[in-house]
Structure 1
């Protein structure tokens, strides 16, 4: 997303002595991590059960299609709204839509009407665009320049702990209901309580003007460009060869969730063990984020070498995972190969139309594998060894 700074970092007269001050970047990153722990983290646990905790995934698939459709739009508009509302209102408005989404499945548990789930999914797409715009501004401007990888790994670990704890909720509350048609009301109420807590916590996140680093510098305020400028810049991105190389990685990064949640967790596990499996799924993301944070900050002095190593690690591990999935899928031989579309909204609809599990696995594996060599080309050609710069070389 396109953004600019409105001022250079200022330096206070005295350098703060502790990283654990309320107005320190570390504490603020932990706070935004806790907000995402409660909201998108719990959302991940909910969607990770497959079908939103329902045996029939149709309502969940349709709601997620609506969600990612509006998210695609408000992912662009979110930055401009952040400029107007600031971090508090942007985060609070975004978090509130997560509560509504969980409430829609509580409603569906009793009345089995999809309309509420679909509308709430569309509204959550709006809220998610707002939340991640604010999160992006915070993660970009608050951490010290030489520790961004570490701070991102701290955020990602806290955020994914939401999926771990959220996975325990359906596991515990449905322990004796493994053959039920859906998770019980208490499961959805539990998710709603965490999400409401996240909305309240979002009000504690400080604006950049009040955050001071340990060296005494103030964080630079991030200002996203306006809607018309940003829309024009996004069109230009498709003519930028660097962005074209990123497209497969960006496209595939959410595509695989449909297959993994609905067709692996939702089919191979019952209501009780879906939640337990979620604990390991999101826990593994925590471990991975810590490892990648180390690689990106400390493995090599050269930024290019760090980038190449990071892509190689992700490529090898990712290919091994899809290879294991293929070995698992062969218990289900006989499915025919189909053609998949792309993008998160399309992926959920693909599953609704009962495309075979084998086809979804193959497409996901190919999409992610194709992205690795393209990212390597990007790092080798575009990343410069100037440690004073934090972005890719501009054209």
Structure 2
């Protein structure tokens, strides 16, 4: 059987790179604005209200986003999702000029629904397209490119900030730059191939089934809601974005605009490095898949304990009532300790998010099921973020916020460990795999599938897909 190049346009990794650049240009710009503190609005209250609504609708839409993806396909789902980011950046732009609170809040609500669609399609592509032996690398590639968008946006804001001497004088030019990049991301959604045209390196097709009907998706969604493994991951899903409101709020409280810009740049670098480390560990360690997952879990637990223990120690003297004569600047000696803590937060964030995605990808290879898993993940994750933003909006004491973040993350680890302990070394033996022996150009390049779930496929092909990994 012909082995297909890993980087051919029809390959999974090429499609993962494309969806990564979509998120680079859309979510990356949104993250860059958020990393400026207070969502770029300079009003922490308005930012918290907008984000609470955004994540609440994100959570509700996430429940059905997987079904939307399975009915309309990932390309349409990504396109619809990307439009929300353009609207939100436009609303921030208008807010800086006209101070229209209602439009910003409305755009946040729309973005919540759109983001659920975009992230569900992204999760489906990242988890179901690659081989089992490439899923850690798939996350690393995506997370690195996606956070490069945040890095670029942060550098744009930092450069303008340092040149103009503050954010207040340069907001228009900042948002024009961000908006232009987002529109490129919207256009890129149409470069993605439908799943039935994506061929893995071992010659297997990602999907040949027709899209599900609405009725089929309703029944399948109900089945997902009762999946024992997904239920055990609910605490991890809930905690996976719970820390962002606290981190953004304490950065806004402590840092001036230049320090926040530097923090945004360093945050993206930490996320990229963390993703690369985790991807290597989950794919390349010479042991069974379960043991690789447990190593990833151990690494995540260690970083969580170290970073939040240090963070709590630093946090204790800082309260909501603390008044600064002058906020910390990036060139102050006092900037070193909180910046070091934030770097540890960023590595731990990449480990936590990557591990959650990898676990879902280890449960199944079915793109329909993984789309529903991704939607469920984003729904529960966003519900947690909505609660966290609501807490911060009501000015819960900082020490209580960080304690809730730390406690939720630690609570989630034993349940994640239970799921990892029971994952198979491969799902290829129990799930249908479709092989392609030839691709014929019939009626506008229709793909002819000549071999379906062939139990007698050559040993080379099965090994290359990861189903015959050496037992350790």
Q: Same fold (TM over 0.5)?
A: yes
State the partner residue of 1:9: none
Task: Give the number of the structure whose alpha-carbon radius of gyration is greater.
Answer: 2
State the partner residue of 2:280: 294
CA positional deviation for 1:225: 5.9
User: Contact 2:20–2:143 at 8 Å: present in 1 too?
Assistant: yes
Give the direction of change, closer, same or farther, for the CA distance of 1:221–1:90 in structure 2 (3 Å limit).
farther
Are 2:156 and 1:169 aligned? yes
Of 412, 415, 418, the match for 1:374:
415
User: Contact 2:67–2:221 at 8 Å: present in 1 too?
Assistant: no
Secondary structure in structure 1 of the residue aligned to 2:207: coil
State the partner residue of 2:308: 322
Distance in 2 of aligned mates of 1:166 and 1:389: 44
Are 2:149 and 1:149 aligned? no
Give the direction of change, closer, same or farther, for the CA distance of 1:178–1:329 in structure 2 (3 Å limit).
farther
Q: Which moved more, 1:146-155 or 1:241-250?
A: 241-250
Distance in 2 of aligned mates of 1:152 and 1:48: 22
Distance in 2 of aligned mates of 1:181 and 1:137: 40
Give the direction of change, closer, same or farther, for the CA distance of 1:198–1:384 in structure 2 (3 Å limit).
same
Give the direction of change, closer, same or farther, for the CA distance of 1:226–1:43 in structure 2 (3 Å limit).
farther
State the partner residue of 2:119: 132
Distance in 2 of aligned mates of 1:63 and 1:334: 21
Of 368, 377, 383, the match for 2:423:
383
User: Contact 1:93–1:130 at 8 Å: present in 2 too?
Assistant: yes
State the partner residue of 2:342: none
User: Contact 1:164–1:283 at 8 Å: present in 2 too?
Assistant: yes
- CA deviations 1:116-138 (Å, max 9, x no partner) are 11111111111111112221221
Distance in 2 of aligned mates of 1:232 and 1:335: 51
Are 2:41 and 1:54 aligned? yes
Are 2:147 and 1:160 aligned? yes
State the partner residue of 2:454: none
Distance in 1 of aligned mates of 2:320 and 2:82: 44
Q: How does 1:48-127 map to 2 (within 5 A)?
A: 48-127=35-114
Are 2:26 and 1:39 aligned? yes
State the partner residue of 2:447: none
State the partner residue of 2:191: 204
Secondary structure in structure 1 of the residue aligned to 2:273: helix
CA positional deviation for 1:112: 1.8
Distance in 1 of aligned mates of 2:269 and 2:426: 35
Distance in 1 of aligned mates of 2:135 and 2:121: 17
- CA deviations 1:7-65 (Å, max 9, x no partner) are xxxxxx7433x333222222111111111111112111111222111222122212211
User: Contact 2:71–2:214 at 8 Å: present in 1 too?
Assistant: no
Q: How does 1:232-251 map to 2 (within 5 A)?
A: 241-251=228-238
Distance in 2 of aligned mates of 1:26 and 1:96: 24
CA positional deviation for 1:228: 6.3
- CA deviations 1:173-227 (Å, max 9, x no partner) are 1225555558611111221111111001111111122222233332225777666
List alignment gaps of at least 5 residues for structure 2.
323-382, 432-472
- CA deviations 1:241-270 (Å, max 9, x no partner) are 533432221111011000011x22212222
Distance in 1 of aligned mates of 2:210 and 2:230: 22
User: Contact 2:71–2:211 at 8 Å: present in 1 too?
Assistant: no
CA positional deviation for 1:113: 2.3
- CA deviations 1:340-364 (Å, max 9, x no partner) are xx71112112212222211111111
Q: Which moved more, 1:244-253 or 1:314-323?
A: 244-253
CA positional deviation for 1:308: 1.1
CA positional deviation for 1:390: 8.9
Distance in 2 of aligned mates of 1:240 and 1:211: 28
Secondary structure in structure 2 of the residue aligned to 1:175: helix
Distance in 1 of aligned mates of 2:414 and 2:68: 36
Are 2:337 and 1:351 aligned? no
State the partner residue of 1:184: 171
The normalised TM-score by structure 2 is 0.73
User: Contact 1:100–1:120 at 8 Å: present in 2 too?
Assistant: yes
Give the direction of change, closer, same or farther, for the CA distance of 1:390–1:150 in structure 2 (3 Å limit).
farther
List alignment gaps of at least 5 residues for structure 1.
1-12, 337-341
Give the direction of change, closer, same or farther, for the CA distance of 1:322–1:230 in structure 2 (3 Å limit).
farther
